Amino acid sequence: MSASIDAAHVAKAFEETFGAAPQGVWAAPGRVNLIGEHTDYNEGFVLPFAIDRAAVVAIRLRDDNIAQLRSSYGTEGTVSVDLDTLSHDTMTGWTAYPLGVVWVMRQMGITIGGFDLYLHSTVPSGAGLSSSAAIECAVATAFNELESAGLSPNELVLVGQRAENEVVGAPTGILDQSASLLSTDGHAVFLDCRTQESTLVPLDLAAAGLLILVVDTKVSHAHATGGYAARRASCELGAEVLGVAALRDVVAADLPEAAGLLDDETYRRVRHIVTENQRVLDTIVVLDDAGPAAIGALLTASHVSMRDDFEISCPELDLAVDTALAHGALGARMTGGGFGGSAIALIPASVEATVRASVVAAFADASFTAPDIFAVSPAQGARRVR
């Protein structure tokens, strides 16, 4: 169990809040997307891995129809909701994530009555590390067990995605929930988002003397608003004009023809998806042939594509990437939906202190908010921890 998952602490906080011990404690990790950004909702390929930071929920079922929810970071205290009144109006703030999962499972015919829930999370919110999916997957895993629902991991992925899409209002694909539910220690998850087939890919960074450094720029993003939805709409327009079911069906050889059919902005959005899908496939081959030290150029090319073609980066992300590369990183890119959040850098462990200090200094020189910088390792997916 990761040191960041203190199940006993969460169980104690639950008991102090609700006056009885929970029936169990479940955890689900956040994720870093190694490569494959915005390809998921285009039915393409992604390569995320779960990180050793997680959302942890303690739950006890009640004999009425009332849900009482509290988090370690919420300012509103305990939130009480009658489950028969669940609607978009009653699922607000942080409670939209756990209640959204409950709403979806009840819509599927799974009987979930009242419950008490306490949430603690070490996944930074707004950092592009899927803090929301971590909550959804922890709650879905818990109720799948508590109610003996018998849903498979892939079915739980779709529960979380539906909660994100229909309740939270974020038009995301299945990347985040898949990483949180399907990952294992020391591996990334190669996911085909059309078929939902997944393969575990060895990613033993420590054996190669490497680590992934996350730079949380503290520029918060929100998938439910603005640019993310606009990018998805551009992709859907591109697929419609090109006459394909999804941009997954477009390959590099099709791009010259696409350039003549699409306006410049839509073409660049399409070009990112097409080239990003190929970079994911290339990364799988390179990892198998030469190991993780050889994938740096692909990570950096991904960032350039997101910066220039998809236009989802920001000055803080670009500075983090450029500074890391200038001080020994083998490759670096923004990760997550964009418009803020985090960058990742693949670095030799020997230059960690140098890269950390250089990024902090560069942010200070630019008068940016000081970033939060931490190393992550491929970790275990969602499971019961107590």
List, for residues 108-152, the tens digit of each pLDDT value.
Answer: 999 999 999 999 999 988 888 889 999 999 999 999 999 999 999
28-60 pLDDT, tens per residue?
999 999 999 999 999 999 999 999 999 999 999
Q: Residue 144 corresponds to which tokens in the numbers above? A: 């799948």
pTM of this prediction?
Answer: 0.91
Please identify every residue annotated as catalytic.
176
Parallel/antiparallel/unpaired status of strands 342-348 and 383-384: unpaired
What are the C-alpha distances in Å from 52 to residues 212, 291, 344?
A: 12, 22, 15
- Rounded distance, CA 149 to CA 36, Å? 32
What string of pLDDT tens digits covers the 386 residues of the chain? Answer: 344 578 999 999 999 999 999 999 999 999 999 999 999 999 999 999 999 999 999 999 999 999 999 999 877 899 999 999 998 888 988 999 999 999 999 999 999 999 999 999 999 888 888 899 999 999 999 999 999 999 999 999 999 999 999 999 888 888 899 999 999 999 999 999 999 999 999 999 999 999 999 999 999 866 545 688 899 999 999 999 999 999 999 999 999 999 999 999 999 999 999 999 999 999 999 999 999 999 999 999 999 999 999 999 999 999 999 999 999 999 999 998 898 999 999 999 999 999 999 999 999 999 999 999 999 999 999 999 99
| 328 dihedral zone (left: phi>0; alpha: psi -120 to 50; beta) | left
